[in-house]
Structure 1
Amino acid sequence: MNWNKLTSAAQLDEIKEESAKQPVLIFKHSTTCSISAMALSRMERNWSDQLGVKPYYLDLHANRPISNKIVSEFGVEHESPQVLLIRNGECVYDASHMAISFAGLQQAV
């Protein structure tokens, strides 16, 4: 799995544009949380590029202002860990904690 790092709030505009061509996943990860580490590992172990989703990884500790902007841009309450599926510039699916799964993402796509 090849993560695209989300390190700039300006990238959110790019993600919205990209999501018109293909779905985009944002994985909000807390590097100090064992639940977040487990959710990330499960996603990576089950990931398939054949799904056609472009994955972005957000390190919450290094980039908290970006997470705050995600709340306002996509209208999804902050949780950690959390995944958001963006399609046509809007969040069409989100899950957090133990609800994060590749199977759930597949169904949403």
Structure 2
Amino acid sequence: MLKKLDSVEQFDELVEKEERFFLMKHSLTCPISGAAYQEYQKYAEGQQQIPTYFLAVQDARPLSSEIEDRFQIKHESPQAILFVNGKPVWNTSHWKIKVKSLEDAAKENE
């Protein structure tokens, strides 16, 4: 199940609470992001091990920028990031966001 994040405070709580989680930066107006979001959603519905979150770039620009600045991950949209113990260990963007790539990242970072 996908959960939406809107603020830096929500993200900080998530980092403290969850050992591992995926976060997707999603643009509400980009067709490439729409296709990637569908793949991300399929992944989220097919597994229960890793919590899945997303932010809509247009609604949560401060959070998107904070993640870029804090973790030195160049902003892209769409972008999927796997966090483990509060740090990003994997990320990909655009057409590379597929169910298989998310599954592989999860397995490689158990």
Whether the 8 Å CA contact 1:84–1:91 is kept in 2: the answer is: yes
Percent of residue pairs identical: 35
Q: How many residues align?
A: 105
Unaligned runs of 5+ in 2: none
Specify the alignment match of 2:11 in structure 1.
Answer: 12
Taking structure 2 as the reference length, the TM-score comes to 0.87
What CA deviation, in whole Å up to 9, does each residue of 1:43-98 have, x standing for no partner? 22343223x11111101001111100011222211000001100001000101000
Taking structure 1 as the reference length, the TM-score comes to 0.88
- Partner Cα distance (1:84, 1:70) in 2: 10
Shift in Å, 1:28: 0.6
Bigger helix share: 2
CA RMSD of aligned residues (A): 1.3
Shift in Å, 1:15: 2.2
Whether the 8 Å CA contact 1:82–1:94 is kept in 2: the answer is: yes
